[in-house]
Structure 1
């Protein structure tokens, strides 16, 4: 399996980010490492920068090599352009790091002379030779396309920069029975309500912790998600059962700014602590699968599809730009598959 690892600073901590194509066994192994966490913004697992972890992921000492003076200037201009377009700091960091790697490789070549053939050479001589993952190559492609689209003097034909072939990985889905066990595992009102809200509304972890009490509209039975992924607002229906849970929780905890707050009033609940709450629930109900919070969102979408909800509505509820993203759930829905009779039964 292809994977790559690199040193970075994430939320003011020195970390090692590990990039790889989705693999359940590899994820389960990474989860066993102390301090391992998933980052939605990095789209990678990351762990503490220790000598043991460096050895484990074959991290070599950082190369002192830098891009040319022109390359450094262009990276800085690119950062300014990204900021002016209000890209997130994590995207800015990811794209500028990828561009830096490319410019280090072509340190001796004027940027205006770089062409599409050079991109292919870089993919073969750097990414493939160093066994870097397809997901990292895809990030580089995003960075190059965006960078070369913003400068005029270039030999690059942006539309001809190709992406690595995507592996067709199906989303992980739980049965309704498994979801029920997980949601009822905790007696703590806050823990139970947070996990239940993620499943009942198909929320991302970041969307849940960003919720404020004013975003719950009990009169219209909806939840307003502000500045969700892609800086888009959307609304999702609010189940009457969840509304009762929320009212009981609110009466008990009386949050000040965010709907779910951690140790400090006015501060959002820590997403890492929320992952831990899910892990504790899995232990309590003896579910051995490497379930993450995103599995609850996948399960929400699949269960909606199996109950007859139109795919177009599911796309809106999940906040997907493209219907193709939502169509992946048709491949994990078992409603039609279960009706198929195996020829084995007739033997």
Structure 2
């Protein structure tokens, strides 16, 4: 697939906007232009614009694209030729058709770092029937952005706020009362019979909405029925089961799982590791956890060679990216504004980079993202089935196994709490229910003395 030069990308996008193309269709129009130019280069298409367009549309029909899609593609191409005839200063065809080096395909930018407001970043581009509620949701997004909360937090809070809005049938935000919240939470508990954790999530979302977006007191909710939270016993894998799963995983997912189990990492903590987080001399890994809390854990000696080989791969990929003129990796906006060249520095590169570059919709920049969590989850699902393990295994299962295996090895609960990054010891104590703890001071019955 060819790469659109940034100036062509920008000019064509602006031309589409001037031609009254909706924002929700811009990505498709950019895609059709890339497909068309790639088609012309691949098949060495000759002739005028009408002939090229007809041949391209015939190809789309062979690919069983719908009539609606073909009409959209035809319009996208016609806008391109119209832009050229209008005298726009764009690069020549030979320059436009330079392919990306290697296997650098172009994907839509991850929502988290698109240069838009947080409201759009969480996937809430569509406005509702109530402008007042849209304004409140934007305030909610702004408050979350100021506090540097994660995109998932924004997505969750905005989702519950929208559901609350629909439940109240677009009741004006200024007329909301505590009774509305009670009625909604009661409906969730009694009619929907949601789990206790879901109720708490809805409660916290609406609490944030009232306090920070609406700027009013939440009040007391003593009479709201709440589901009783049951004791959760996490799924734990034996060492033999873990080895069996690893035998059915391929690179890079086998190395990711080894770090999940070997260091007790959450999935996002592992995927968001960067070059700077590894200290091979000290044998220490710095982990950036939830709530901007950092911790250090020892690097497993058994995979030190694999980790160092991965580091060499990163250096090679980084060198190729620099030679290709890429725009760096994704960083927090604050860091990038302060240090504009930071995205291209080696220390900030992802330790598990995505195999392809990512296209920023609005700027035309080519950036590097890390391996997507869905890729690991799919590979893990297949590996567990092939290993014939009759347990519900997720990426988080290896973190549970890490803690449980340490307990079995005689480590005290406080040490495990520190390694897991738990704020409360109560959270760590759940692992004492998984298996009997075999320590030097193992409890025994006096009858057995």
The alignment status of 1:274 with 2:337, answered yes or no, reads no
**Partners of 1:159 and 1:232 in 2: how far apart?**
33
Counting only pairs closer than 5 Å after superposition, residues 287-306 of structure 1 correspond to structure 2 as 287-306=389-408
What SS does the corresponding residue of 2:356 show, helix, strand or coil? coil
Instruction: Tell me the TM-score normalized by structure 1.
Output: 0.68
Deviation at 1:162, TM superposition (A): 7.9
Counting only pairs closer than 5 Å after superposition, residues 71-220 of structure 1 correspond to structure 2 as 71-106=133-168, 107-108=170-171, 111=174, 114-115=177-178, 117-125=179-187, 127-150=189-212, 153-154=216-217, 156-157=219-220, 164-186=227-249, 188=250, 190-220=252-282
Cα distance change of structure 1 residues 236 and 76 upon mapping to structure 2, 3 Å threshold = same
Q: Is the 8 A contact 1:99 1:144 kept in 2?
A: yes
Q: Is the 8 A contact 2:263 2:298 kept in 1?
A: yes
Equivalent of 1:314 in 412, 416, 424: 416
Instruction: Tell me the TM-score normalized by structure 2.
Output: 0.54
Range moving further from structure 2, 318-327 or 155-164: 155-164
Cα distance change of structure 1 residues 165 and 184 upon mapping to structure 2, 3 Å threshold = same
Alignment partner, residue 352 of structure 2? 260
Count residues with an aligned counterpart.
277
What SS does the corresponding residue of 1:262 show, helix, strand or coil? strand
Q: Is the 8 A contact 2:353 2:370 kept in 1?
A: yes
Cα distance change of structure 1 residues 214 and 127 upon mapping to structure 2, 3 Å threshold = same
Aligned Cα RMSD in Å?
3.5
Counting only pairs closer than 5 Å after superposition, residues 58-73 of structure 1 correspond to structure 2 as 71-73=133-135
Range moving further from structure 2, 231-240 or 104-113: 104-113
**Partners of 2:407 and 2:264 in 1: how far apart?**
13
**Partners of 1:217 and 1:178 in 2: how far apart?**
30
Cα distance change of structure 1 residues 229 and 159 upon mapping to structure 2, 3 Å threshold = farther
User: Larger strand proportion, structure 1 or 2?
Assistant: 1
Range moving further from structure 2, 259-268 or 172-181: 259-268
Greater C-alpha Rg: 2
What SS does the corresponding residue of 1:267 show, helix, strand or coil? strand
Counting only pairs closer than 5 Å after superposition, residues 215-234 of structure 1 correspond to structure 2 as 215-226=277-288, 228-234=289-295
Q: Is the 8 A contact 2:195 2:227 kept in 1?
A: no
